[in-house]
Structure 1
Amino acid sequence: MTTTVSPQTESTSRPRLGRGVAFTLIAVIIATFLGASATPTPLYEHYQQLWGFSSLASTLVFGIYALALLATLLTAGSLSDHIGRRPVLLGALALEAVSLALFASADGLTILLIARVVQGVATGAAISALGSALIDLERTPGRGSIINSVAPTMGLAVGAVGSSLISEHLPRPTSTVYLVLLVLVILEIFGVWAAPETSGGRPGAWQSLRPTLAVPRQARTMIALTAPCLIAVWALGGFYLSLGPALARNALDVHSSLIGAIMVATLTGFGAAAVLTFRKLGGRTVMLIGTTALVLGVAVTLIGAETSSAVLILVGTAVAGIGFGAGFQGTILTVMPLAENHERAGLLSTVYVIAYLANSLPALLAGYLVGKVGLVDTTRGYGALVMVLAAAALIGLLVTGERKVEAVSVSE
């Protein structure tokens, strides 16, 4: 027979953070995980110089992380509901620390790939527990959901730019940034240890490790309509995080990791701004904005790449970033309310499967094609694919009309 320690009993034996401080800590940890995932992106040029990195290798380093994250999310995504938030977060942070130590000591592609797999497992284990903890700790209804949407994209932006600045201005460019993050993660481990437990736990931990994918009958039409937008959004993010720096160097002839980091930060930063700006609009409206912005933004970015215009590339990336944030937010707002309470976990898992496969597989294919047809032609084809998918979703929404699309408003 097993017993469950209640949060109240447990908290008397150790220091405890207040709920407001714990809420802020969880938001910072979300940003840390996603920021750490973007840290290798500006370093690809350094890796190329050290180890003869190819474009395929850089997309492999990115793609294997996304696949490891997806596999872990599907199996351990609800584990914190059963054993508590703190044990899952402590384990995930410990794994993240291991991955950062591996990154800092990497002397070739093999260790780098192992580090990315460990990082993907850590992030996949943490992401659900972190999101749930934010909702548990929120004092204002809806605030946790907003932070859940904004913190990851802001973390990506800060991680990319911070990695670039540290690698360019401090010694040991391929290890210093990881050591800085390692110190931060260790501090966060102590913070989580002192944080209140917000889930009392329940039986069925082993059964929860079985992947659950389900699309309720009433949501199938809408999943089919929104899937092209979901794929376009996450495929675009995968391209920027894997080949974005190479595109910046090739189009602008600038050999600084900062320009690639700025591109990633522009995409994700404007994505976060879109989530905040459109948070009170209905799902269909947000998706219409997102798909339109994706088509226009990618088109302008491609024109900028063809003409070697830094201004057009950044403007296009900013507009595409609005599509990045609004497209995903609109998908969630449109699809998730169609499921009953007991159906939402399976439906959300399905959404994330589509998202992370779109995030990794097209980027891996692009890395392979760069070696065959070159970066310019690969970028053209990739951009065209994203625009076609976004346009298909836009047309589907316009043809279907508001009558069949559930619009959901989210209040702060």
Structure 2
Amino acid sequence: MTATVTVATRAEQGSQKWAYALVLAASGVALGVSGAPAPLYGIYQQAWHFSPLTTTFVFAVYAVAALVAVLVSGRISDVVGRKPVLLGAFGIMILGLVVFLFADNVAMLLLARALHGLAVGATVVAGAAALLDMRPKEGARAGQLVGVAFNIGMAVAILGSALLAQYAPHPLRTPYVVITLACLAIGAGVIALREPHTARTAGRITITKPAVPQEIRSDFWFSALGVMAAWSVLGVLLSLYPSLASAKTGIHNLVFGGAVVASTALAGAGVQYFATGIPARRAAIIGDIGMAIALLLTIPALATHNWVLVLVAGFALGATFGLGFGGSLRHLSNVVPQHKRGETMSAYYLLAYSAMALPTVVAGWAATTWGLTTVFPWFVVAVSLACLAAAGLGMRRQSA
């Protein structure tokens, strides 16, 4: 009988060799959904005559909702399982796409982005937990692959959205229809997925309280400053930078704005995939310094009005972003105590999503008041200083 059970277990595992790849694809598609509206904000802005501040509010709503999902979905998936959370997330994701599809005012955009924030936050947490359930000894590898999937999903979705909006009929409808079909395909795969979390825990569903263990405070702030600077860049990159790049180069084709962001995301994916041989702290320090330099280089690149240099600057920013963000996350994962992982990562993502939302809104407000061209260099200098502060903290800790 034991032999029969063993054979059955192996057969079950063999029949779902695709499960790991499916969860990675789900993570990539979720991040793709989060980035897909980026090339379309300019169309919304022109059609509905709203300001850059409104654009950044639409983006910030996503970050706040994602943070809420991050804080609760881990515990929910521990109690009810990873599969129900992933299914619920994709259901909410598709609902958000339907809202986008029929949106005719800013309130509907805010609702759609809030739904997507909840869905993506839940997918990120439950997906990461599911990958660890399937291959518990490959945590570092899973983190690396998830980072790559995030960036590739975002690049494909943003560039695809821009292409469809530029050349297909109904630019504010067609991209969402195509993405909905992709989500339905992933959802069908999740339905067929066997629950990977077989040792579920009973108990109440609670919010994970953010906290940082005293013994790793210095390491935590090194990692947190790095991710805060990186995600500040990401927020403005997705909400305002495509419009700025188009205005500076005089190229108003949506594909160009999409290509600027997509090249940045692909560079981040490539670096995260190939840079794991670099020790985490060193990678984060190099990435933080490199991100500061790359950010500063975007100012003269934009001033040249040369689209090639704008793309190159974006690619350099993406590469250093991947190195800094990937290194910071790997470093924190290496030092956080096992029994404190939930509350520490909650604190980490609380700061990360706050850094994505708040500076983006401030930049949008300032752009509405003084103009994006005037505000952008000041924003770049401020974030560059934050990147250098993170690098300095890491180097001081390393020499201690």
TM-score range, shorter chain: over 0.9
Gaps of 5+ in 1: 1-7, 405-412
2: CA distance, partners of 1:300 / 1:271: 17
The alignment yields a C-alpha RMSD, in angstroms, of: 2.0
In the alignment, which of 264, 271, 275 is matched to residue 267 of structure 1? 264
Matching of residues 198-277 of structure 1 within 5 Å: 198-207=196-205, 209-277=206-274
Matched, 1:28 2:41: no
TM-score, with structure 2 as normaliser: 0.93
Deviation, structure 1 residue 143:
3.8
Per-residue CA deviation, residues 54-105 of structure 1 (Å, 9 max, x unaligned), is 2111111111001100011112233212111111111111111100111011
Q: Equivalent residue for 1:185?
A: 183
Matched, 1:169 2:167: yes
Per-residue CA deviation, residues 353-381 of structure 1 (Å, 9 max, x unaligned), is 11111111100111111111111121111
In the alignment, which of 108, 131, 135 is matched to residue 134 of structure 1? 131
Q: Equivalent residue for 1:3?
A: none
1: CA distance, partners of 2:66 / 2:14: 29
Matched, 1:294 2:297: no
1:229 is paired with a residue whose SS is: helix
**Quick one: structure 1 residues 122 and 16, their matched pair in 2 at CA, closer, same or farther if it must change by over 3 Å?**
farther
Matched, 1:195 2:193: yes
Count matched residues. Answer: 391
2:153 is paired with a residue whose SS is: helix
2: CA distance, partners of 1:162 / 1:389: 33
2: CA distance, partners of 1:305 / 1:346: 41
1: CA distance, partners of 2:150 / 2:110: 22
Matching of residues 4-403 of structure 1 within 5 Å: 18-138=15-135, 141=138, 142-207=140-205, 209-401=206-398, 403=399
Mean CA deviation greater in 125-134 or 30-39: 125-134
Q: Is the Cα contact below 8 Å between 1:218 and 1:338 reproduced in 2? A: no
Per-residue CA deviation, residues 323-355 of structure 1 (Å, 9 max, x unaligned), is 211111111222232222111111111111111
Per-residue CA deviation, residues 269-318 of structure 1 (Å, 9 max, x unaligned), is 11111111211221111012201210221111111112223233222221
1: CA distance, partners of 2:116 / 2:222: 33
Name the amino acid aligned to 2:165: S
**Quick one: structure 1 residues 156 and 293, their matched pair in 2 at CA, closer, same or farther if it must change by over 3 Å?**
same
Query: Alignment identity in percent?
Result: 31
Deviation, structure 1 residue 322:
1.5
Deviation, structure 1 residue 19:
2.9
Gaps of 5+ in 2: none
Name the amino acid aligned to 2:181: V
1: CA distance, partners of 2:102 / 2:13: 35
2: CA distance, partners of 1:285 / 1:135: 26
TM-score, with structure 1 as normaliser: 0.90
Q: Is the Cα contact below 8 Å between 1:88 and 1:126 reproduced in 2? A: yes
2: CA distance, partners of 1:51 / 1:218: 51
1: CA distance, partners of 2:62 / 2:46: 22
